Amino acid sequence: MTKLAVFASGSGSNFEAIASAIENGELDASISLVVCDRPGAKVEKRAEAFGIPVLSFYPKSYESKADFETFILQQLNEAGIEWIMLAGYMRLIGPTLLQGFEGRIVNIHPSLLPSFPGKDAIGQAFEAGVKLTGVTVHFVDEGMDTGKIIEQDYVRIDENDTKENLGRKIQAVEHVLYPAVIRSLLQEKIKR
Ligand code: GAR
């Protein structure tokens, strides 16, 4: 069974979607570790409910990104982690982890990349007045949401949508798309 680590900074609803897909037998994998760079974030409680260990850390307690990524890399290797799934991890991945997990780090982003990279992609799309936005799952490189696109799905922005309910529509699509893409990746249906 493939061992995954999920990295998150916030609520962890995508973590939960992946963990539930595993629990329901839709995904032949296990989440061996959740990595969280914001101690106290809701994802910690969600992980606890699934009995999954959490590695929480304060980035500011380290001198550099290389320092905390070296620490994380050691923990991932000790746990035998094969893939890193970013799920709302609001931090660029540095060279230490990129080299340690080359071609095996994936991210989900709430827009149709290359449109609206970076923070608050849902708000950016809403403010821009586009009629179509969506979700992208992509490989991670050193850039901000720039890696090779694996899969996308769209969400229509209707006349009476608010930013809040657009957020809910996007997340509903994320929670289906991310486990499905991970499943294909692990079955090697997707070329790296
Ligand atoms: C998700 O919508 C994810 O696409 C987004 O953060 C949210 C996390 O929600 N990620 C990014 O914006 C990355 N650039 P969650 O904590 O409930 O899974």
What's the CA angle centered on 146, arms 78 and 101, to 5 degrees?
A: 15
Peptide bond into 114 cis (omega under 30): yes
Residue 58, helix vs strand vs coil = coil
Residue among 105, 108, 145, 153 to mutate when testing ligand 1 (max atoms within 8 A of CB):
108
- Contacts of 63 by beta carbon, 8 Å cutoff, 6+ apart: none
- Catalytic pick among 38, 46, 109, 138: 109
Domains of the chain (ranges; CATH) run 2-186 (3.40.50.170)
pLDDT string in tens for the chain (192-residue length): 899 999 999 999 999 999 999 999 999 999 999 999 999 999 999 999 999 999 999 999 999 999 999 999 999 999 999 999 999 999 999 999 999 999 999 999 999 999 999 999 999 999 999 999 999 999 999 999 999 999 999 999 999 999 999 999 999 999 999 999 999 999 987 666
Tell me the CA–centroid distance for residue 60 and ligand 1, in Å: 22
Beta bridge partner(s), residue 137: 108, 151
Active site residue 109: yes
pLDDT at 189: 74
CA–CA dist 23, 168 (Å, integer): 23
Residue among 13, 38, 169 to mutate when testing ligand 1 (max atoms within 8 A of CB):
13
Tell me the CA–centroid distance for residue 78 and ligand 1, in Å: 27
CA–CA dist 147, 137 (Å, integer): 9
Look up the pTM and report it.
0.97
